[in-house]
Amino acid sequence: MATKQTKKSAPKAKKVAAKTAAKYGYFDDAKKEYVLTTPATPIKWCNYVGTLNFGGIVDTTGGTLVCKGDPALNRITKYIAQMPCSDFKASTIYIRVKNAKGYTVFSPFVVPTLTKMKKWECHVGLSYMRWIAECEGLRTQVTIFVPTGSNTLLQDIQVTNLDKASKEVDIIPVYEFSHFEAEKQLTNADWVPQTMTLKGHWEKDGHVVLEQYAYMKRDFAVNYVTANCKVGSFDGDRRVFLGANEMGSWAAPLSLANKELSNSECDRGDNIAALMIHAGKIAAGKTFRTCTQLGQEQSLKVASKAIAKYRDLKNVDKAFDELAKFWEKYLSTIQVQTPDAAFNSMVNVHNPRQCHTTKNWSRYLSLYQLGYGTSRGIGYRDSSQDLMGVMSHMPEEALELALNLLSVQRPEGNAMHQYAPLALAEDNGNEANAGDSREKKGVLDENGNPAYADWYGDDHLWIVLTIANYLKETGKMDLLKKEVPFYEAGKKRAQREKGTVLEHLKRSLNFTRTHLGKHGLPLLGFADWNDCMNLPLGAESSFNTGLYAKALLEMMDICEALGDTKSVEMYKGWYEDVKKAFNDSAWDGKWWVRWFDKQGNAYGTNKAKYGKIYCNSQSWSVISGIATGDRAVMGMDSLNKLLNTANGVKSSTPGYRGFDPNVGGISTYPPGAKENGGIFLHTNPWVMIAETILGRGDKAFQYYSQINPAAKNTKLDEFESEPYCYPQNILGDEHKQFGMGRNAWLSGTSSWTYQAATQFIIGVRASFKGLIVNPCIPSSWDGFKVTRKFRGATYEIEVKNPKHVCKGVAEMIVDGKKIDADVAPIFTKGVHKVIVTLG
Ligand code: GLC
């Protein structure tokens, strides 16, 4: 059945014109870059380079936060995110030009010399940053990236003389090191500096390698900095480099007044790596090029291969080309052409790119989630969801992380909340933790029993969706037979109980099935998706109900694909039970309530003063199919009426107006912020998906567009956050700073908005039977095109919308043959034409 909406309600197509002169920068879609034209962004903006294995953050003014394998336990550079934008943060480059009196010094990143530039651009690229700066008659181009699969951060520096006369130029790149345990660097000013060591190793031909480690890592993990060319001198001691016992500053290091640095090594204290590279006299129009390396290996001997490789500039160029090829291939998995430029820009480039970032860093390392301590790490719930955003692009890498997650699932079926990757790899029997629930350990109820759960009601359910996603994408059903250990604290991996992947999934569902509350709804546990609502044990959650029901649907699909009809029937029974329990208890008259506490009081009810209605109970009841008919529509319409704003859907309303110990975390925020009535973006794509299920494509697209950061490029003084990636939250309309975005990059918004856009609006999704094409679009669209790679074949899909409906496949033609459904067959190779007509 086609669902039609009036054309009137269709959003106007918004254009992100390439190179329009916006205040801070513009999208260059052809190069897949966002180009900043000023360093003075409203807040710090950044980009990611490399992967969790080696890489991290590069900010737009040249600060780099590099880690290997684990931001908390193996950090390399000392990036203190709280420092003002104008301050040095772990790295910079000084360019020094000889003049009659001495030297003029500037940084092509602007920070930390704060020199005014004639021209300045920062190109935020796919896993690289590139600056183009003009100052002192020189054009400097700096490109920072990590070659795919390497443990090296390269900094490719090119200085061109734009003047008529030759210029004598020196280039001084600098890094500052952190102790490997990031938190200790900030909290221990005795032990840390005593251990920090830097040595210079001169090579016969004038090259130098600076070797840095905390003493106990000397024989296991050493950091190094070197350049492709000879250097005149170096400094390893910050005090010496800045000069006058640190009365010299990063803005104007006193040592730069001298021809050479002091070759200071550092047996303790603040370790840096500063190299004096003499570019010599650069003739008019000529370019000097050098490339630095910052890496970590077990020893310099092990590093010598990489050092030699990247001292050859041809290999640097090759590595940059390879990176571009990686992204070309990655992004070619799904490419769309729709009438909406901001949608195309996000779906084709920036959103899948952000998904790759969240897949790597979970919620571990951003300018907001600082990667200190091991209590955050890789989140079970977060990463399970992130993986769904990369499943079509890199299913095998996604699976590797999914198997790690399964290995921190308890034999009872619920999961540990998070783990630090290095601690997990070291197998010390104490590698995962139960998250924030530890905070309330020891709080007892009226009968002397623990008042709060030490498990989360949702964690273990997400992974069912993730594994189902993998299976549908790849068809590799054998995965279900693979044995994976369960998590038993204190036991080494080899001693732990094992179960097949299928068994893990069964236990997930069984845990929830055996942890239902008074109304027959899944218990909240310490928290559900909303970390900020921690009601005592016995509370029930509508969100967990929706997620559980959706996980049951996925499990039924898996069992059906396995031909196990008995299990399909069993899970169907569980599904019907919970659906009935939900419908019997959770309907408030116009919307679904969000929680019941252990006494049976409802939260998210019209009767409440604060937190009357919550977003997630409306969306997830539709996504899971437990809300049907009028109630499904009414819930979503109430959401639209009470929670929607021009900047996105709020997670609840009204916000609590002061700390209430009964509800805890949520009321620590002022009204309109984060979970307390803020626009928590992660929940928005669920609203989009629910609307596509109801067939209301205009509404779904409106919800999509109102949070699209690319469409906010002209509103950056309000939004403030990077326009090329989703932030975690936007302040809601109860807050004075309504519209302001925060906590960019690492958010479940990325994976889910990508899923909402590609699988539900564009409507192309993997299934056990083939590739489903069933869009739900704005009625104003005449159609669109999409290319999708699936199981080895490429599907060139064209969707036509002659009747201007939102949803409803009237006809599907695959390679010239009419198909009697909306599923294109599995081909395994070749290019296949799919034409879908809506109506
Ligand atoms: C943060 C957490 C996520 C949680 C959400 C809502 O984004 O990373 O796990 O679901 O907040 O509280």
pLDDT tens for each residue of 373-416 = 887 899 999 999 999 999 999 999 999 999 999 999 999 999 99
- Angle ∠(438,439,445) on CA atoms, nearest 5: 95
> pLDDT tens digits, residue range 643-654?
999 999 999 999
- Catalytic residue among 170, 270, 459, 531, which? 531
SS3 state at 40: coil
For CA atoms 816, 818, 822, 823, give the dihedral sign. Answer: negative
User: What confidence tier does 670 reach under pLDDT thresholds 50, 70, 90?
Assistant: very high
Distance of CA 277 to the CA centre of its chain: 36
Name the nearest CA neighbour of 57 among 76, 43, 38. Answer: 76
Name the nearest CA neighbour of 362 among 380, 378, 384. Answer: 378
**Ligand 1 atom closest to residue 527's alpha carbon, by position in its atom list:** 12
The pLDDT of residue 219 is 96
Average pLDDT over every residue of 172-193: 97
User: What confidence tier does 2 reach under pLDDT thresholds 50, 70, 90?
Assistant: very low
Name the nearest CA neighbour of 795 among 752, 769, 829, 751. Answer: 829
> pLDDT tens digits, residue range 581-617?
999 999 999 999 999 999 999 999 999 999 999 999 9
**Ligand 1 atom closest to residue 531's alpha carbon, by position in its atom list:** 12
Task: List, as one string, the DSSP characters of 109-123.
Answer: T-TTTTPPPSEEEEE
What is the C-alpha separation between 419 and 402, in angstroms, rounded?
Answer: 13
Pairwise pLDDT comparison (663 vs 619), residue with the higher score: 619
Average pLDDT over every residue of 728-756: 98
What is the C-alpha separation between 224 and 176, in angstroms, rounded?
Answer: 12
Average pLDDT over every residue of 199-217: 97
The pLDDT of residue 18 is 43
The pLDDT of residue 19 is 44
Distance of CA 107 to the CA centre of its chain: 30
Residue 554's H or E segment, with its range, is: helix 542-562
Intra-chain end-to-end CA distance of the chain, in Å: 8
Q: If you measure from the C-alpha of residue 680 to the centroid of ligand 1, how many angstroms do you get, rounded to a whole number?
A: 9
User: What confidence tier does 782 reach under pLDDT thresholds 50, 70, 90?
Assistant: very high
Q: Classify strands 831-838 and 793-800 as parallel, antiparallel or unpaired.
A: parallel
Name the nearest CA neighbour of 109 among 140, 78, 79, 145. Answer: 140
What is the C-alpha separation between 209 and 645, in angstroms, rounded?
Answer: 56
Instruction: Return the best residue to mutate from 368, 381, 382 for the ligand 1 pocket (most ligand atoms within 8 A of CB).
Output: 382
The structure tokens listed for 312 are: 């050859």
What is the C-alpha separation between 210 and 806, in angstroms, rounded?
Answer: 61
**Coarse DSSP helix, strand, coil percentages of the chain, rounded to the nearest 5 percent:** 30, 25, 40
Burial of 329 (0-12, 13-18, 19+ CB in 10 A): exposed
Share of the chain above pLDDT 90, in %: 94
CB 543 within 8 A of CB 616: yes
- Say whether pLDDT at 272 is over 50: yes
Name the nearest CA neighbour of 198 among 229, 228, 238, 227. Answer: 238
Average pLDDT over every residue of 801-809: 98
Q: If you measure from the C-alpha of residue 837 to the centroid of ligand 1, how many angstroms do you get, rounded to a whole number?
A: 39
Task: List, as one string, the DSSP characters of 191-233.
Answer: HHHHHEEEEEEE-TTS-EEEEEEEGGGTTT-EEEEEESS--SE
The structure tokens listed for 689 are: 């998906």
CB 219 within 8 A of CB 195: no
Instruction: Return the best residue to mutate from 375, 417, 531 for the ligand 1 pocket (most ligand atoms within 8 A of CB).
Output: 531
User: What confidence tier does 425 reach under pLDDT thresholds 50, 70, 90?
Assistant: confident
What is the C-alpha separation between 44 and 83, in angstroms, rounded?
Answer: 10
Average pLDDT over every residue of 267-293: 98
The pLDDT of residue 429 is 63
The pLDDT of residue 427 is 78
In sequence order, which residues have a C-beta less than 8 Å from that of residue 205 and are 6 or more positions away? 230
Q: In one letter, which amino acid is 4?
A: K
Average pLDDT over every residue of 193-199: 98
The pLDDT of residue 687 is 99
SS3 state at 706: helix
Q: Is 363 in the pocket of ligand 1 (CB under 6 A)?
A: yes
Q: If you measure from the C-alpha of residue 86 to the centroid of ligand 1, how many angstroms do you get, rounded to a whole number?
A: 31
Q: In one letter, which amino acid is 40?
A: A
CB atoms within 10 A of CB 482: 16
What is the C-alpha separation between 107 and 800, in angstroms, rounded?
Answer: 53
Instruction: Point out which residues pair with 138 in neighbouring strands.
Output: 135, 161
The answer to whether 190 is a known catalytic residue is: no
Q: Is 665 in the pocket of ligand 1 (CB under 6 A)?
A: no
CA dist 60 → 36, 88, 501, 708 (Å): 8, 12, 43, 21
**Ligand 1 atom closest to residue 747's alpha carbon, by position in its atom list:** 7
Compute φ and ψ for 60, nearest 5 degrees: -75, -5
Q: Is 379 in the pocket of ligand 1 (CB under 6 A)?
A: yes
User: What confidence tier does 752 reach under pLDDT thresholds 50, 70, 90?
Assistant: very high
Average pLDDT over every residue of 492-511: 96
CB atoms within 10 A of CB 309: 17
**Ligand 1 atom closest to residue 530's alpha carbon, by position in its atom list:** 12
pTM of the model: 0.96
Q: If you measure from the C-alpha of residue 693 to the centroid of ligand 1, how many angstroms do you get, rounded to a whole number?
A: 25
Name the nearest CA neighbour of 710 among 354, 333, 326. Answer: 354
CA dist 515 → 444, 458, 509, 518 (Å): 20, 12, 10, 10
Name the nearest CA neighbour of 294 among 46, 33, 62. Answer: 62
Where are the extended beta strands (E) located within 311-364?
A: 334-337
What is the C-alpha separation between 823 and 835, in angstroms, rounded?
Answer: 12
SS3 state at 810: strand
Q: Is 382 in the pocket of ligand 1 (CB under 6 A)?
A: yes
- Say whether pLDDT at 358 is over 80: yes
Which residue in this structure is represented by tokens 């198997």? 403
Name the nearest CA neighbour of 93 among 127, 131, 39. Answer: 131
Residue 419's H or E segment, with its range, is: strand 418-419
The mean of the pLDDT values for the chain is 96
What is the C-alpha separation between 614 and 295, in angstroms, rounded?
Answer: 47
Average pLDDT over every residue of 636-643: 98
CB 84 within 8 A of CB 148: no
- Angle ∠(518,523,528) on CA atoms, nearest 5: 145
Share of the chain above pLDDT 70, in %: 97
Which residue in this structure is represented by tokens 């490789």? 309
Helices within 475-515 (DSSP H only): 501-513
Compute φ and ψ for 513, nearest 5 degrees: -60, -30
User: What confidence tier does 837 reach under pLDDT thresholds 50, 70, 90?
Assistant: very high
